[in-house]
């Protein structure tokens, strides 16, 4: 058994989908979460910048002697898997488990992928799907406006702006008659009620955060590294706007977290370590 915490990072709020699943499945596990709200979104950045941010986020989490790092960020997982593989501790991103879940779920072989521009450009999810289902047809759609919607709390299923944007992004995938949709950015499940209404009951939504949390559970179990007697404490760190983060996080997680949100100057820390 290993009672050390799990480290989770994301460009902002999206990684809370992993935290929510962890609370549900592994209530004893402690988590240190870093949301890089000061530099969100990652999906519009260049590959070198995304790789640097990923390395800095991992370095910050390692300060807490974490036993595993989860990149709960579709962009970091797609663009910078080499950074995760180079870490001297177990680490995983959202791509492999999510691609496997989509390949298993589809009946028609037509799978849609929505993500940031950087994620879509790598075709990482497409490669993960085709590795398991070579005949699958993968249709990808960059959706750069979804992350700002979530970060600003525009996630109500009745929000007219969110609905209009989602309809515009999802129509090409509807036209292709996909029966499975990967929400390839962990921000996106916060908008899943809108997606479900637009796409209809015949389309299975694959939550990258949920699938990654399940994969992490299996990895810890296989390595006999589950917590024996943890208290399930969650510590949250952000690089900007702690109040806004806490407001949406409390609504999403259904529990108070305000006292556990701290602000860290990630860029300054990285300069100091360099």
- Predicted confidence band of residue 274 (pLDDT cuts 50, 70, 90): low
Task: Report pLDDT digits (tens) over 35-50.
Answer: 999 999 999 999 999 9
Distance of alpha carbon 211 from its chain centroid, rounded? 10
167-171 mean pLDDT: 98
Equal CATH topology for 6-93+210-273 and 95-208: yes
Distances (CA, A) of 146 to 119, 191, 255: 13, 8, 24
**Domain residue spans in the chain?**
6-93+210-273, 95-208
Quote the mean pLDDT of the chain: 94
pTM of structure: 0.92
CATH of domain 95-208: 3.40.50.1860
Task: Report pLDDT digits (tens) over 121-166.
Answer: 999 999 999 999 999 999 999 999 999 999 888 999 999 999 999 9
What percent of the chain lies above the pLDDT cut of 90? 81
CATH class of 6-93+210-273: alpha beta
Question: In the beta sheet, which residues pair with residue 138?
Answer: 111
Q: Please confirm whether the linkage preceding 82 is cis (ω < 30° from 0).
A: no
3-state class of 236 per DSSP? strand
Task: Report pLDDT digits (tens) over 206-252.
Answer: 999 999 999 999 999 999 999 978 888 999 999 998 988 998 888 88
Question: What is the distance between the alpha carbons of residues 274 and 259, in angstroms, rounded to a whole number?
Answer: 31
Q: Is the pLDDT of residue 22 over 80?
A: yes
Query: Which residues are annotated as catalytic?
Result: 73, 185
Residue 31 burial (10 A CB sphere; 0-12, 13-18, 19+)? buried
Spatial strand order in the sheet of 180-183: 137-142, 110-115, 180-183, 204-207
pLDDT at 254: 83
């Amino acid at each position: 058994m290993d009672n050390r915490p799990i480290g989770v990072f994301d460009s902002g709020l999206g990684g809370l989908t992993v935290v929510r699943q962890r609370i549900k499945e592994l209530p004893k596990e402690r988590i240190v979460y870093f949301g890089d709200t000061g530099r969100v979104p990652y999906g519009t950045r260049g590959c070198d910048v995304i790789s640097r941010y990923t390395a800095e986020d991992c370095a910050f989490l390692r300060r807490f002697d974490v036993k595993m790092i989860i990149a709960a960020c579709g962009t970091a997982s797609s663009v910078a898997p080499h950074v995760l593989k180079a870490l001297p501790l177990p680490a995983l991103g959202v791509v492999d488990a999510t691609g496997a879940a989509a390949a298993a779920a589809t009946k028609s072989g037509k799978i849609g992928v929505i993500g940031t521009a950087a994620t879509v450009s790598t075709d990482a999810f497409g490669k993960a799907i085709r590795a398991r289902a070579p005949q699958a047809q993968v249709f990808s759609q960059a959706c750069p406006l979804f992350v700002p919607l979530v970060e600003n709390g525009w996630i109500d299923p009745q929000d007219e702006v969110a609905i209009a944007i989602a309809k515009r992004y999802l129509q090409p995938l509807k036209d292709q008659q996909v029966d499975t949709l990967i929400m390839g950015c962990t921000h996106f499940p916060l908008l899943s009620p809108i997606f479900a209404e637009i796409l209809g009951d015949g389309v299975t939504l694959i939550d990258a955060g949920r699938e990654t949390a399940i994969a992490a559970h299996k990895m810890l179990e296989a390595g006999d590294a589950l917590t024996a007697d943890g208290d399930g404490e969650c510590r949250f760190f952000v690089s900007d706007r702690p109040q806004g983060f806490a407001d949406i996080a409390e609504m999403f997680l259904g529990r108070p977290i305000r006292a556990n949100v701290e602000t860290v100057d990630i860029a300054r820390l990285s300069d100091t370590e360099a």
